[in-house]
Amino acid sequence: MALKGIVIDPGHGGSDPGAVNNGIKEKDYALMISKYMYDRFKSLGVPVSITRTNDITLSPKSRINKIKSFYGNSKDVIVISNHLNAGGGDGAEVIYALRNTNSLSKKILSELENSGQNVRKYYQLRLPSNSKKDYYFIHRDTPNNEAIIVEYGFVDSTKDDVNQIKNDYKKLAEAVVKAVCEYKGIKYKGVSNINNNSNYYIVKKGDTLWDLAVKYKTSVKNIKDLNNLKSDVLQVGQKLLLPSKTYIVKKGDSLWKIAKEYNTTINDLIKNNNLKSTTLQIGQKLNLG
Ligand SMILES: [Zn+2]
């Protein structure tokens, strides 16, 4: 199936926070999910654009104009509008346009399910005043694009959504990346150990895979696998996904020793890990920042 490009649309932004509860602001998580997704499509070689990369207010009109400006009105354009839900439920939903089939939505929900999120439904929604039209402008005003709204979970869930959003939003975003690749026949290469501590690193002059492997406590092979690299040569400015820097406390460790070894400070270790005391337990996991 042809694909002209993917437009990622982080919902809300600026003066419109979207749903807010349990320490989650929809606009912020929509942006984090979207940026992650953008980077992943880029690394898979898929043409991709994004409607906002920071906390700005976008009116429906300017959002739609932006979307159209990237790849036009073609039906071979996928628009993914990322949102979180509210209203007391639990689980993910996908809303698709009246003009489209449910194939992509179905795939997305099944990948979200594989990632550990429970799923509710995929559906279409009609404007009450004109049932020929979509309820949401993101469907209604992008006339030919394949436009979907993904609701990853409920910010006011009393079940596991709040934790899943806070701890595993990258995993949820990855599920959508995988589903879109399947849907469009794009060769998908997954990332292992994806979690919210995995970070994108911009290659600087003089960096080598070996240096980065040492610095990030991983192997050259792991970095190559994570980023689907065919060669050992890095380009300045290249974006690399690096594994989380989690340290597991060994016998004889102290904060001072770990700070020194990992080029950080005792204060940062205390701050990054919300430590109440400087006494460490063997097996304790520390975020090295
Ligand atoms: Zn929303």
* pLDDT at residue 228 tops 70: yes
pLDDT at residue number 110: 96
Q: Which tens digit of pLDDT belongs to each residue from 72-96?
A: 999 999 999 999 999 999 999 999 9
Q: Quote the ligand 1 centre to 228 CA distance (angstroms).
A: 33
**Closest of 160, 41, 141 to residue 92, by C-alpha:** 160
Can you tell me the distance from the alpha carbon of 141 to that of 261, in angstroms, rounded to the nearest whole number? 55
Query: What are the phi and psi torsion angles at 115 (to 5°)?
Result: -85, -5
Q: What is the total count of domains within the chain?
A: 3
Q: Percent of the chain at pLDDT above 70?
A: 94
Domain shared by 85 and 168, yes or no: yes
- Judged by phi (left if over 0) then psi (alpha if -120 to 50, else beta), residue 14 lies in left
User: What is the residue-averaged pLDDT of the chain?
Assistant: 91
Q: Quote the ligand 1 centre to 184 CA distance (angstroms).
A: 26
Q: Which tens digit of pLDDT belongs to each residue from 141-180?
A: 999 999 999 999 999 999 999 999 998 899 999 999 999 9
Can you tell me the distance from the alpha carbon of 23 to that of 47, in angstroms, rounded to the nearest whole number? 33
- Judged by DSSP in three states, 287 sits in strand
Q: Quote the ligand 1 centre to 106 CA distance (angstroms).
A: 20
Query: What are the phi and psi torsion angles at 112 (to 5°)?
Result: -65, -35
* pLDDT at residue 140 tops 60: yes
> Given 226, 243, 260, which residue is the final one in a domain?
243
Q: Quote the ligand 1 centre to 66 CA distance (angstroms).
A: 18
pLDDT at residue number 249: 81
Q: What CATH code is carried by the domain that includes residue 130?
A: 3.40.630.40
Can you tell me the distance from the alpha carbon of 255 to that of 280, in angstroms, rounded to the nearest whole number? 8
Q: Which tens digit of pLDDT belongs to each residue from 266-286?
A: 998 999 899 999 999 887 888
**247 bridge partner residues:** 286
Q: Quote the ligand 1 centre to 188 CA distance (angstroms).
A: 28
pLDDT at residue number 199: 67
Q: Quote the ligand 1 centre to 8 CA distance (angstroms).
A: 14
pLDDT at residue number 198: 59
Q: Quote the ligand 1 centre to 150 CA distance (angstroms).
A: 9
**Closest of 86, 236, 50 to residue 161, by C-alpha:** 86
Q: Quote the ligand 1 centre to 162 CA distance (angstroms).
A: 15
Domain shared by 179 and 208, yes or no: no
- Residues of 62-76 as b/e, b for ≥16 C-beta within 10 angstroms? ebbebbbebbeeeee
Helix pair angle (26-43, 161-184), 10° resolution: 30
Q: Percent of the chain at pLDDT above 90?
A: 69
Domain shared by 20 and 64, yes or no: yes
pLDDT at residue number 282: 81
Q: Quote the ligand 1 centre to 11 CA distance (angstroms).
A: 6
DSSP 174-204: HHHHHHHHHHHT------TT--TT-EEEEPP
**286 bridge partner residues:** 247
The alpha carbon torsion through 35, 117, 224, 33 (nearest 10 deg) reads: 0
Q: What CATH code is carried by the domain that includes residue 219?
A: 3.10.350.10
Q: Quote the ligand 1 centre to 145 CA distance (angstroms).
A: 20
pLDDT at residue number 179: 98
Alpha carbons within 13 A on the beta-carbon side of 116: 13
Domain shared by 80 and 169, yes or no: yes
Domain hosting residue 249, numbered range: 245-289
* pLDDT at residue 1 tops 90: no
Q: Quote the ligand 1 centre to 135 CA distance (angstroms).
A: 13
- Site of tokens 């009450």: 128
- Element (DSSP H or E) covering residue 79: strand 77-85
> Given 149, 184, 219, which residue is the final one in a domain?
184
Q: Quote the ligand 1 centre to 139 CA distance (angstroms).
A: 14
Domain shared by 57 and 76, yes or no: yes
- Element (DSSP H or E) covering residue 85: strand 77-85
Q: Quote the ligand 1 centre to 281 CA distance (angstroms).
A: 42
The alpha carbon torsion through 29, 32, 34, 36 (nearest 10 deg) reads: -140
Q: Quote the ligand 1 centre to 152 CA distance (angstroms).
A: 10
Domain shared by 284 and 201, yes or no: no
Q: Quote the ligand 1 centre to 29 CA distance (angstroms).
A: 10
Confidence grade of residue 262 (pLDDT, cut at 50, 70, 90): low
Q: Quote the ligand 1 centre to 230 CA distance (angstroms).
A: 39
Q: Quote the ligand 1 centre to 10 CA distance (angstroms).
A: 9
Domain shared by 58 and 180, yes or no: yes
